[in-house]
Every structure is written in structure tokens, then in C-alpha cells.
Structure 1
């Protein structure tokens, strides 16, 4: 029988897909007999995230430590770093797994410091997009990529969530020199149960953070154009947090206030019942959970052909579009005219279950940990 591991996951913001990924891993790892803990930011997240923490608290033998960890590099990182080092030294983990740029820095820097003190600890890093979205031609991009190259030397293994992410890392940063592999995000068995639309469901759903990177403006403008193209007032629900006031003003400016409902964050499967079709118009992604969740729940989708999304649908899927208003609007108009035909374009759910199951993800991540420890 394999020995139990002490695993600490380091990440910045307990929101969105990264938080979902870490929660799923932690629960599966605890069920496999490992002791797991979290280190993350205390200034992000709200009531929904508190519910998620409460739901998994009993699984986290090494607990949850939250402290202020800013998005940008700043003086506050010194205090967060010192607290992290003291905590990690106390927890004595076998594995430090960093997620995202800040989490990856904490795990690798302080994992390396522990090694100087003759602790045996594996240092793993999952970028999850993050720093890879920056332009290498900018001053900030150059600085961040230089730091990533420096910390490559402190890494035992890289775990990417898509081939796109691994390819982008190599193109923008180089390497990595440490061993790497792609391990797709995974869903639980219950998430493959279909979610039918409610009787009063809207035509389209946008779910996620409201910001330019996620194409929130594209969704609003495309709904307006698709309504004109179809000759009917299409409706939508938008679920999420972020720059809500900015996009609420855009909705009012376009005269769509009576046709678009904006709601705060909620569990994805609750949101899926609010509309018949899901739209993911992101300008950039790594391997978004929301796409996997929606497809597993049987929701027809329109998605931008960015990041790892084509790896889910297949690169030539007609359900994929360019992340611009014209392409998204045309796809929305086509889909709403013949919803059955659009639904037939979705990947087979049995195939999704085999490729994106949480059991597969957790088993492959544990194998990566043991390879890193052996190295």
C-alpha cells in the first residue's frame, strides 16, 4: 500500500476555476488517505466561496490558512511570504503544490528554503493560465517571464491543465527544464447528470467573472446583434461577480435592461437551469471548468476557440467561434433558430466522462507527486 502524503496547496484567490480545481483535488486526495491543507488569500471570495470552504473543511486535516496575498507583486508579499514560510515549516509537507503565478512562487521558493534545511519536499507548479496571458513584449510581461525562468530551477515538476497551456509556456517563457505533463481537469460522477432548463428559462446564459478577458462585453453586444438578426428579442441571464456595474451600464445603454438579468455568483448547476444555451465568449482561457461542467450537464454551448477549449470539443467543431462580437452573434442566431441541430454538435458525454473524470485527474496527480519525490 502506498504511503500517505502530507500535501499543501498554495494559491492566491479562492475563486473561479483554480479554486474549483484545488477543491476537487483536495477532496479526492483526502479520500485516498492523504493529509491536505490550503494556503490562500483572505481578501477575495464571498458568501459562495465561504460555503465551499465549509463543505470541504472536514476533509482538510492540515487546515486552511488565509492571509492577504495581492494580485500584483508588492510590499505585502514580504509579510505573506514570511507567514507562509513559518507555516509550511510547521506543517512539514511532503508536497507543496502551487497553483497560479503567486501560488507557484510561494510553493517553489519556500519549498526550496525547506530543502536547504534538509526537509524532503516535492515542489510542483500548475500555471492555470495566469501569467501566460501577459504579452512578452511589455515591460511587465518581460519581468514576470524572467521570474518564471528563475523559478524553473526551483521546480520538481510542472502540471499543465491543457496542451495549449504547456505550448504557450514553452513559447513565451521557454522550457520548462523540469519534467512536465498535461493532466486535464476532472468532474465528479454526479456532474454528468443532465440539468434541464426551467420552464421560464432565458435563451442564453453567461456565467463567470465579469471582465474584458472573459468577453463579457462580447456577450452583451452579441445578444443585441443576434436579436436584430433573428427578428426577436432574445433574453439572457448573466451570473457572476467582477465589474458588474460597468456591464450593467452597458446593458442599459443598449436598451437591454428588460431582457438581461444579472445575478450574483451561484453553483454552476443552479445557473444552468436558468437558460437553454450557454455562451463562453472568452478572449483567453487555459482549460475552463465551466465548459466541462456545462457539457457534462447536457447544455448546448457556443464557446470561443481559445486556450484549451478546442481540446474539449475537437479543433474543427462548428460550436467553436472567434472571440469577437460578429462571430458570437452569428453563432447565437444560428443556435437559437435550430436548438436541436446545435445540440447535436456537442461532444459525446461518455467520451467526456472518460477523459475528464475526477478519479483520473486525482490518480495522475498523485503519480506525479510520487515521481517528483523520487526525483
Structure 2
């Protein structure tokens, strides 16, 4: 895995715990920062530090490829998380194979959402793998999509092609990613099961949280997001600017990131009712106090923040992008990305009509109970591992 401080690291930790409980040996390879953040050794895995940077660097990437090859030579399966780690693992362990037809990865569209744990990425495969040689099976989970263009977008496209042409199995978090990887020649594309951990109980009352934030009697609109370009927070600021009839909501954003200074300048310059809370370790408390949870992202796969909102029984308003429509189902209101007026209108409806909020809250509670858990995720990847192992 590469550098992460959020959902990918939590997901890998969940897989490690489940695999170790079932008697499997697990090793995590990645930057030292991820061991500091997620304590994989504590979960029962071994850990080897290999820097995997966010940006391509030819010499460092070559070193990483050689280290991955050395550290994983005795593994049955190597499961890489994220495009950078996936490309490096694919380069380390798999030779390029002939491009397959676009039909090859179509199982995702046909079966990928019919049931958690379905083995759409499995199936019998002749021994020898795409390289025709021996070695660990290579599974890559793509947790995200790039929304930037230019040189960064070009590099991203190159890495996608490496993964599509070399990995034995590609798991994705949304149908659009499945279509893209299939079009690039991925032989087997399957659904990634990425659940949120169980939501712990709130430690403070909603009143205590609202007092801390200075919400008073105003509705509290909560967004849980990294302060980054992908999250579409410029749209949230446009929504907060109004106009509003009745009490003006207080918007609170839990998360940190590179756009903090830029966003704070806009908030200050327009006197917007928006609080940037930074990283928080009391998300359940914030959820309990929130009137509604809003997501404005340009793209998301299966955001853990929305899974947590559903498990907390909160009304959800979100961009209808990536994997969000499947995740939310009928438990929330979806709006096109970047549609500030549409988002504001949906927010008014939830805040001004108690019946709407109550209906969405009840639907969220039901949907939260239906979502997959850690056992579902582990059982799903074990089936994929068995298929990739026979393929390696």
C-alpha cells in the first residue's frame, strides 16, 4: 500500500485482522507512516517499510519494485491497494500479457451488485497466469479515481494500463471504474467490498457538541471530507452562501487537507457560516448532533463517511457520482456534482419538512443495517485470492 491516512488504511487493517483470525499469515508492505497510523503489527501482521510515494519518481519507484519483488517472492497472493501501489506490485511480479477483449471484465456489471461475497472475480483459470510463469497471484483494489487532468491525468492513465495489463484480478469500488478497467483490457474485474468499521456510540450528548460548535438553535449540516480538490467543497461554500429562508444552518466540515488555507480565506472573505473542524476523533458525536450529512464530491467510490452516516441513521444528501448511488440507495437524496442550487434546494427540503427528514432517517437506519461488514469483506477477498493464487 501507499501513503494513506484514511479509508484505505482502515480497510487494510480490517482485512489483516480478519485474515489473521482465520489462521492466515499476513504481511503489509508500505511506507512507515502507515504502520504508525494503523498498527498492522498489533493486528498480527508482519510489516516491512518500503516507500511508495504519491508521485512517480523513476529511481525511487525502481527501488520499490525491487523491494516488493524480494519481500513477496514467497507469498501466495499479493494484494495491492491503490493505483500507485498496484502498478508497482504489477511491475514487480507480472510480465505484460496480450490485451484481452472488452468482454473479459464484464462480470462486474452482470453480478457485481447482486450480493456481497459473490465471486464475480473468481472462476477457473489455467495455471501459469498472464506471464506464463510462477509466482504470487496479484490482486489490485482501486479505491479511487482521479479527477484532475493534464500531466497528472496522463500519468494516472499510464498506471491504469499497467494494472489492467498485468494484474490477475482488479477489484473496484464503482461501476464506472469497472467499465474503465475492462476497456483497458483487464482480464477479471470484480466488486471490492469495502465496509466501514462498526460505529462506536457517541461519548457526548448532541447538546454538548452543539454548544462546543456554537450552533445554538440552528440546523447543523455536517460534511466529513478531506480538504482536497476531489471533495468539491467549493460547492458546499456556494450552498452555505444562501440565500436562506428561516434560520441559517451552521455548516461543519470534519477533515484536514491541502486546501485549508484557501477554503478558510473564502469563508472569512464572504462571512460564511462554515466551520473547518480539522481532523476529529469524535465522528460519532458529530453525527449524533447533526441534522443532515452532506457530501459534495466530484467522485467517490464507497466513502466510509457516508456508510457511517447511514449507520447513524442520518439523512444524507450527496453527489450522484461513482459508487454513491448504490451505497445510499433510497436512504438519501442525490444531486448532480457541482449543482449548488440543487443541493441547496434538497437541503431546504430536509431541514424545513420534518416528514422528509424522518423518512430519510428511517431509510438510512435500514440501509445501514444492510451494509456489508468486515466478515463479508474478508470472505469476499478470500475467494478472489484463491482464484488469483491458482492463476499465479
TM-score calculated relative to the size of structure 2? 0.78
* 1:100/1:129 contact within 8 Å kept: yes
User: Does 2:70 align with 1:53?
Assistant: no
User: Does 2:206 align with 1:208?
Assistant: no
CA distance, structure 2, for counterparts of residue 57 and residue 339 of structure 1: 48
Q: How far is 1:374 from its partner? A: 1.9
Q: How far is 1:317 from its partner? A: 6.7
Matched with 2:206 is 198
Structure 1 pair 252/23, CA: closer, same or farther in 2 (3 Å)? same
Matched with 2:244 is 229
* 1:276/1:300 contact within 8 Å kept: yes
Q: How far is 1:210 from its partner? A: 0.6
User: Does 2:267 align with 1:284?
Assistant: no
Q: How far is 1:372 from its partner? A: 1.1
* 1:164/1:286 contact within 8 Å kept: no
CA deviation digits over 1:184-213, x for unaligned, max 9? 32234x428689961143411111211221
CA deviation digits over 1:213-244, x for unaligned, max 9? 1011111221221xx32232321221111121
* 2:314/2:360 contact within 8 Å kept: no
Structure 1 pair 343/20, CA: closer, same or farther in 2 (3 Å)? farther
Q: How far is 1:286 from its partner? A: 1.6
* 2:140/2:163 contact within 8 Å kept: no
Q: How far is 1:117 from its partner? A: 12
Matched with 2:84 is 102
* 1:195/1:273 contact within 8 Å kept: no
Matched with 2:21 is 31
1:191 is paired with a residue whose SS is coil
Matched with 1:80 is 64
* 1:236/1:275 contact within 8 Å kept: no
Structure 1 residues 1-375: aligned runs within 5 Å: 11-42=1-32, 50=36, 52-54=37-39, 56-63=40-47, 65-75=48-58, 76-89=60-73, 92-112=74-94, 120-131=135-146, 133=147, 140-170=152-182, 173-176=183-186, 178-188=187-197, 190-191=198-199, 198-199=206-207, 200-201=209-210, 202=215, 203-225=220-242, 228-242=243-257, 243-256=259-272, 259-267=273-281, 268-314=283-329, 319-324=333-338, 325-345=340-360, 347-375=363-391
CA distance, structure 1, for counterparts of residue 203 and residue 365 of structure 2: 13
Structure 1 pair 222/305, CA: closer, same or farther in 2 (3 Å)? same
Runs of 4+ in 1 over 6 A off after TM superposition: 115-118, 192-197
Structure 1 pair 238/208, CA: closer, same or farther in 2 (3 Å)? same
Structure 1 pair 187/146, CA: closer, same or farther in 2 (3 Å)? closer
Q: How far is 1:67 from its partner? A: 4.2
* 1:186/1:359 contact within 8 Å kept: no
Structure 1 pair 74/33, CA: closer, same or farther in 2 (3 Å)? same
CA distance, structure 2, for counterparts of residue 73 and residue 119 of structure 1: 28
1:123 is paired with a residue whose SS is strand
CA distance, structure 2, for counterparts of residue 275 and residue 29 of structure 1: 35
* 2:319/2:336 contact within 8 Å kept: yes
2:199 is paired with a residue whose SS is helix
CA distance, structure 2, for counterparts of residue 308 and residue 343 of structure 1: 24
Query: What is the alpha-carbon root mean square deviation over aligned residues?
Result: 2.9
Structure 1 pair 210/340, CA: closer, same or farther in 2 (3 Å)? farther
1:39 is paired with a residue whose SS is strand
Structure 1 pair 206/187, CA: closer, same or farther in 2 (3 Å)? closer
Q: How far is 1:97 from its partner? A: 0.7
2:140 is paired with a residue whose SS is strand
TM-score calculated relative to the size of structure 1? 0.81
CA deviation digits over 1:68-125, x for unaligned, max 9? 4322212332333333333334xx2211111111110122222238x99976311001
Q: How far is 1:142 from its partner? A: 4.5
2:181 is paired with a residue whose SS is helix
CA distance, structure 1, for counterparts of residue 30 and residue 358 of structure 2: 39
Higher relative contact order (CA 8 A, sep 6+): 2
CA distance, structure 1, for counterparts of residue 346 and residue 205 of structure 2: 20
Count of residue pairs brought into register by the alignment: 343
